[in-house]
Amino acid sequence: MNSVNNEGVSLWKESHLQATYPQIVEDLEVDTVVVGAGITGLTVAYMLKRSGQKVAVLDKSTVGGGTTARTTGKVTSQHNLVYKDLQDRLGNKIAQVYADANQTAVETVASIIKREKISCEWEIDDNYVYTTDSTKVEEFKTEADVAASLGLPSTYETTSPLPFAIEAAIKFTGQGKMHSQKYLLGLAAAVNGDGSFVFEESGVIGIHDGDPGKVRTRKASVTAKSIVVATSVPTMPLVARGAYCILEYPKESYIVAGTPEKVIKGMYISPDKDNYSILPIAVNGSPTLLIGGKGHISGLRISKDTRYTTLSEYAAKHFGMNQVTHRWSDRDYIAYDGIPLAGKLYPWSKNLYVGSAYRKWGLSNGTAAAMIIHDLIIGIENPWASTYDPIRLDPIKSIPHVAKSYISKK
């Protein structure tokens, strides 16, 4: 294997130039200030602006400075094997909300791309969960049925376009894939202007939750009726991170990318060992392949090289991807019950909102969270809000779940 040109740099960041938005240097007053220019922050800002608000988005680095520009790029309501598990643990009503929120989010991303004419390699495609393990066949049949019963576009399959034999698959039709950084730049362009703003290099160092509230950077402050913390995980010094550390835990994932010899349709993920995630996508017209997987709980002393090597060998063996051009890793957060957090940050928050814990599916879950936060701010009833409400979580009940994840290292 030749050396990697872009060590640690995501394909999405490297293959597209940054927009340059100014740093905030003067105090400002808007209706809502959003901290963080990832998919959550920019989507909620975009939606609020369309509802007539003046908004400001502040990022400590750049648009796409966080995890969104380091994703695989799948926009789907199929999150590996999730629906039977949610139904069993949390009941049919919550499984239904999760299905509705994510499928609506997929359609929302598609409609934003169309409305704003965002050029981001968007393509509608089928998404598959597959297994090569014959002992999982019954589990797959059940998951396909549960997902279909929730109204999702789910069918059980025994074949797929993959270049190797599988035992079973679940296909969701009409899902999407995209260049996540180009999508964010399109959203930012739609947010900025007409009394609304995007600021880069404008890290927020303090938040006052009041009526109105205020966020502070080193050079200026923004006063606003509502504040949205969209920083992936709410961190110090913005909020007392301690509370959220108990409620959600981080997982690291790895991706290698390059040019494949074998080009296939579809997007894939597997619950089998190594959790391979496969995304074929045309980037600037060139066939490109991303292979992700080898995830684990963050903070462990684990050799990244070994993980990249496993993914690279898999890509070479099955897809003829003999040169890895980019490889990177990043983390995402998971709430202890597996449902994202979107709503008031704390039970006592006045006008302070959060979106977090997307269980590595933030392109859909983050969009759904943005829709919930938008509705709460505008005062519209949202059918998913109580299910995603962070206030549902009990820190004491959370401890054994989070601890178990650290012990199992997965």
Ligand X SMILES: Cc1cc2nc3c(=O)[nH]c(=O)nc-3n(C[C@H](O)[C@H](O)[C@H](O)COP(=O)(O)OP(=O)(O)OC[C@H]3O[C@@H](n4cnc5c(N)ncnc54)[C@H](O)[C@@H]3O)c2cc1C
Please tell me whether residue 143 binds ligand X under the rule CB under 6 A: no
The answer to whether residues 6 and 33 touch, using CB atoms and an 8 Å cutoff, is: no
Please tell me whether residue 253 binds ligand X under the rule CB under 6 A: yes
DSSP 320: -
Minimum CB distance to ligand X, residue 17 (Å): 17
Query: Coil, strand, or helix at residue 161?
Result: coil
Query: Footprint of ligand X on residues 270-309 (CB under 6 A)?
Result: 292
Cα Rg of the chain (Å, integer): 20
Minimum CB distance to ligand X, residue 138 (Å): 27
Which among 63-71, 110-118, 151-159, 311-319 is the span making contact with ligand X, rule CB under 6 A?
63-71
Minimum CB distance to ligand X, residue 40 (Å): 4
Minimum CB distance to ligand X, residue 67 (Å): 4
Please tell me whether residue 175 binds ligand X under the rule CB under 6 A: no
Minimum CB distance to ligand X, residue 288 (Å): 14
Question: Measured from the CB atom, is 31 or 252 closer to ligand X?
Answer: 252
Please tell me whether residue 127 binds ligand X under the rule CB under 6 A: no
The answer to whether residues 50 and 190 touch, using CB atoms and an 8 Å cutoff, is: no
The answer to whether residues 121 and 183 touch, using CB atoms and an 8 Å cutoff, is: no
Dihedral in degrees, nearest 10, Cα atoms 296, 298, 304, 306? -30
From candidates 30, 58, 168, 246, binder to ligand X by CB under 6 A: 58
d(CA 86, CA 219): 45
From candidates 153, 174, 203, 338, binder to ligand X by CB under 6 A: 203
Minimum CB distance to ligand X, residue 134 (Å): 27
From candidates 12, 28, 32, 66, binder to ligand X by CB under 6 A: 66
What residue has token string 């950084």?
181
In angstroms, the first-to-last Cα distance of the chain is: 28
The answer to whether residues 62 and 200 touch, using CB atoms and an 8 Å cutoff, is: yes
Query: Footprint of ligand X on residues 314-343 (CB under 6 A)?
Result: 330-332
Residues 6+ positions from 194 with CB-CB distance below 8 Å: 49
Q: Is the dihedral of CA 329, 73, 393, 404 positive or negative?
A: negative
Question: Measured from the CB atom, is 137 or 220 closer to ligand X?
Answer: 220
DSSP 348: T
* Number of residues engaging ligand X in binding (CB under 6 A): 39
Question: Measured from the CB atom, is 142 or 275 closer to ligand X?
Answer: 275
What are phi and psi for residue 334, nearest 5 degrees?
Answer: -130, 125
Binding mask 340-359 for ligand X (x = CB under 6 A): ------------------x-
From candidates 32, 40, 270, 351, binder to ligand X by CB under 6 A: 40
Please tell me whether residue 239 binds ligand X under the rule CB under 6 A: no
Closest to 333 measured CA to CA, from 375, 292, 366: 366
From candidates 364, 382, 387, 398, binder to ligand X by CB under 6 A: 364
Judged on CB neighbours under 10 Å (0-12, 13-18, 19+), 317 is: exposed
Q: Which parts of this chain interact with ligand X (CB under 6 A)? A: 35-41, 58-61, 65-68, 70-74, 203-204, 230-232, 238, 253, 255, 292, 330-332, 358, 360-364, 366
